[in-house]
A = this chain, B = another copy of it.
């Protein structure tokens, strides 16, 4: 049996083509399921031998000293949003007999590329990527060589690939419509840096909700930038000060929300707040924090399951899965507008 080497890994589809049978038949033979005639089975087995095909979950036994593995490229190891996502990917990997290796791009496109290619060089079977880059053509040779790749949280750039996203614009629209329904007209958006896909989509949702209600958006109500506490504090001071302060804040992710909660706790006048992303203990704060909750565990699980479907040889056009956000009203988003101080 030829050794399976990175760059020449045959798929179930290759086996099916060589044996002149359907994919389901190959799957039945590989998994020892009934319903295949001895003749067909012999033909499939002969194609398997000729191509050196190995099912992913037996690779760890066959490759001496190696274990099956997949790689995960995150944006930030320290952002709690990615913790349940990582754990879900790992659980699916484990259920499929694979180890997970994770690393972080720290939001630097070159670093994402370096990390993804380093994982490929270490012969992972597949990659789940939270993109920092907007151009993934560097992965085309790896994908052509059989490294399954699924993008999660943000789409792939300039290549066609599986992607699992939250409906960011839809969630943002719902958040802002909720504030408008509670009487707010002067609503600010504080989001991440504008080149980040999710930040752009949430800004789009904010603008759409304002437009739907026939409300103008003053240019200085939109703040896109680093989500560091210092920057968010400064922006909030600007938005809540002056002669025409905003009465509500839509914060674009959990890092912004946590700082906004701190600032608003010190602020005299009540200000409404809806945050994108749920976070631990949001319900125990006073007021509880109203959020658009994503389901990061489901994002990770869906992406990993898609990855293992590809590794099992399922060959179909790249899929785009979009998961809804969920509004959870807890108090902060239901504060009515108060008069300027």
Contact = CB atoms under 8 A, between A and B. Distances in A.
Contacts of A158: none
Interface in A73-99: 76-80, 83-84, 86-87, 90, 94, 99
A285 B287 CA distance: 10
Interface in A53-80: 65-67, 69, 71, 76-80
A100 interface: yes
Q: What is the oligomeric copy number?
A: 2
Interface stretch (A182-190, A258-266, A302-310, A327-335): A258-266
Interface stretch (A27-35, A42-50, A101-109, A217-225): A101-109
A37 B104 CA distance: 43
Given A115-B99, A121-B65, A286-B286, A83 B80 contact: yes
A118 interface: yes
Nearest to A118: B67
Given A67-B118, A285-B281, A86 B78 contact: yes
B101 A103 contact: yes
Interface string A251-279: 00000001001100100000000000001
Of A69, A76, A265, A285, the most chain B CB neighbours within 10 A belong to A69
Nearest to A89: B77
Contacts of A286: 286
Interface string A126-170: 000000000000000000000000000000000000000000000
A105 to B, nearest CB: 10
Given A69-B118, A281-B258, A99 B103 contact: yes
Nearest to A84: B78
A80 B84 CA distance: 10
Contacts of A76: 87
B67 A77 contact: no
Given A102-B101, A281-B261, A80 B80 contact: yes
Nearest to A76: B87
9 contacts: A77-B83, A80-B280, A87-B104, A99-B114, A100-B104, A258-B280, A258-B281, A284-B285, A286-B286
